[in-house]
């Protein structure tokens, strides 16, 4: 028979085992219901500040002065006058929305299957200079001429056709569209580039742009110097 001391020791051992088991089960249960750790919450941001954080423009920009609004208006009006030249056949025919140049007053596709080519000077045997000589060829419907007659190159097409005033003005402010480092270079281009000047010296039977070259340059300058404002449409 076991003594009372032995029975007492065995009872303590069973109690310890039960306690250890209970602690184990409690630990497992806690791990299962333990909430995921959360990042510390940031201080609440007022709704107005939140909107500003995702908007490139202040929610309450400083109102423009009457003089600034007038200057923007004059800039847009100047561009609209210059736009009539950009869209005229003498200018737009070499800035089509495809790789085939345009011809004539109705801006139809160039005959003979002429295409731009990588350098803008035609492709294979159909080079621009094969027909477009250094000067206009005399006679009605004969090719106009200029020493460097060509379209813009393939990597810099400068498409004018079908562009709205707003679209074209936005493009002119992008170096990837014009190839110019800044708008001042655009002024120099429209003022001195021989191909631009040739628009006012077309071949026989072709019209000139609706304004003089001097006025065209002046309007481009005015547009840029007064902020290069973008037309609404």
Give the mean pLDDT of 118-146.
96
Q: What is the pTM of this model?
A: 0.73
For the stretch 145-157, pLDDT in tens is: 999 999 999 999 9
Identify which has the larger pLDDT, 162 or 44: 162
For the chain, how many residues are written?
Answer: 233
Hey, CA dihedral for 203, 85, 121, 159, is it positive or negative? negative
For the stretch 46-87, pLDDT in tens is: 443 333 333 345 566 789 899 999 999 999 999 999 999 999
For the stretch 79-113, pLDDT in tens is: 999 999 999 999 999 999 999 999 999 999 999 99
Question: By mean pLDDT, which of 25-29, 112-116, 194-198 is the weakest?
Answer: 25-29
Identify which has the larger pLDDT, 20 or 57: 20
CA distance 122 to 43: 64
Q: Is the pLDDT of residue 7 over 70?
A: no
Q: Is the pLDDT of residue 135 over 80?
A: yes
Cα–Cα distances (Å) from 169 to 96, 141, 187, in that order, read 17, 33, 14
Give the mean pLDDT of 197-209.
97
CA distance 176 to 156: 7
Q: What is the pLDDT of residue 50?
A: 34
CA distance 187 to 183: 7
Q: CB under 8 Å to 118, separation ≥6 — which residues? A: 153, 154, 155
């Amino acid at each position: 028979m076991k003594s009372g001391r032995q029975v007492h020791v065995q009872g303590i051992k069973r109690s310890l085992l039960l306690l250890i088991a209970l602690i184990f089960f409690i630990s497992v249960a806690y791990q299962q219901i333990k909430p995921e750790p959360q990042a510390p919450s940031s201080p609440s941001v007022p709704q107005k500040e939140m909107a500003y954080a995702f908007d490139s423009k202040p929610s309450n920009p400083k109102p423009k002065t009457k003089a600034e609004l007038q200057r923007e208006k004059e800039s847009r009006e100047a561009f609209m006058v210059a736009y009539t030249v950009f869209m005229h056949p003498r200018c737009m025919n070499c800035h089509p929305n495809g790789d085939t140049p345009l011809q004539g007053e109705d801006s139809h596709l160039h005959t003979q299957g002429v295409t731009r080519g990588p350098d803008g000077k035609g492709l294979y045997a159909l080079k621009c200079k094969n027909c477009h000589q250094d000067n206009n060829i005399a006679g009605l419907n004969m090719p106009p001429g200029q020493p460097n007659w060509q379209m813009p190159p393939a990597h810099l097409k400068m498409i004018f056709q079908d562009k709205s005033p707003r679209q074209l003005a936005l493009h002119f402010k992008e170096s990837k569209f014009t190839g110019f480092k800044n708008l001042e270079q655009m002024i120099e281009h429209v003022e001195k580039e021989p191909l631009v000047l040739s628009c006012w010296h077309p071949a026989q039977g072709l019209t000139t742009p609706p304004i003089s070259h001097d006025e065209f340059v002046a309007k481009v300058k005015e547009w840029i110097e007064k902020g290069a404002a973008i037309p609404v449409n």
